[in-house]
Amino acid sequence: MHIQIDPKVLSRAIRACAIASFNPPKSARADDHPALRGVLLQALRGGQLDVVGTDGRWLARYRADVSIVSTTMCNGAVIEPASVKPLCAWLDTHSDELVHIDVGPVAEARSERGSALAFAARDTDQYPRYDQVIPDNAHGKGAPVVGFDGALLSEVVEAFRIAANARRGHCVPLAFELGRNAYDPAIVTCSSAPDMIAVVMPLTQPAVGQYSLTTERA
């Protein structure tokens, strides 16, 4: 996979979605729901890139516009946890120019001025099909009262704060779209970060839901 992207957008997307998969987790997670380490980069048709983080209880997806030059080798990769911060730091230092991300036998970020950073990444074989756990438009009328883990929601709030590029303490308006049943996942959106959504599981259901949303992978 070879893409060209605004480094400010990619850094923000990675940092926001990494909150959903980093450990040690802030919220109490059951032993049978371990954190899915790393952040997924998934190339889509139509010149878009999905950046995804999840731990099985909530999921953050940031969709950004990119120039997808080639998906011959692969169409996605998972950034290893140890490479998330160094990669974001490198992207931040090259925020005034577009960067290229190459993922193949070696994963590398490269600026147009020649600077490069190799980072650790793995294939997507063991990563869940995130597009199958994002609820579709079945959510709507007659939504019930739903309970959520407060510590889990604090992670969601922090992820949207980063995605919105807002300072700590500033208002980040969140909208919750609840399902028909109390055990359905909730869709969380933010007008200040329109490129990102989160899917959060309520306390009554331990596993990610069964709704689907078509995502055309490149």
Q: What is the CATH number of the domain that holds 60?
A: 3.10.150.10
Would you say residue 205 lies in a domain? no
Would you say residue 123 lies in a domain? yes
Would you say residue 11 lies in a domain? yes
C-alpha pair distances (Å), 118 with each of 94, 104, 214 = 15, 11, 32
- Residues 152-207 pLDDT 10s: 899 999 999 999 999 887 888 999 988 877 788 899 999 999 999 999 988 864 43
Would you say residue 208 lies in a domain? no
Query: Which residues have C-beta within 8 Å of that of residue 85, sequence separation ≥ 6?
Result: none
Q: Which DSSP state fits 123?
A: -
Residue of 131, 13, 201, 174 lying closest to 209 (CA atoms): 201
Would you say residue 120 lies in a domain? yes
Residue recorded with tokens 């600026």: 111
Domain carrying residue 26: 2-200
Q: Which DSSP state fits 25?
A: -
* Residue-level pLDDT at 136: 58
Neighbouring-strand partners of residue 176:
188
Strands 121-122 and 174-177: unpaired
Q: Report the predicted TM-score, pTM, of the whole model to 2 decimal places.
A: 0.73
Would you say residue 179 lies in a domain? yes
Would you say residue 212 lies in a domain? no
Mean pLDDT across the chain:
82
Whether residue 95 has pLDDT greater than 60: yes
Whether residue 148 has pLDDT greater than 70: yes
Number of domains in the chain: 1
φ, ψ of residue 18 to 5 degrees: the values are -65, -25
- Residues 30-63 pLDDT 10s: 444 444 578 999 999 889 999 999 877 788 999 9
- Residues 173-182 pLDDT 10s: 999 988 877 7
Query: Which residues have C-beta within 8 Å of that of residue 50, sequence separation ≥ 6?
Result: 40, 41, 42, 44, 61, 62, 63, 130, 215
User: Lowest mean pLDDT: which of 71-80, 129-138, 145-154?
Assistant: 129-138
* Residue-level pLDDT at 151: 87
Q: What whole-number distance in Å separates Cα of residue 178 and Cα of residue 146?
A: 8
* Residue-level pLDDT at 27: 45
Would you say residue 33 lies in a domain? yes
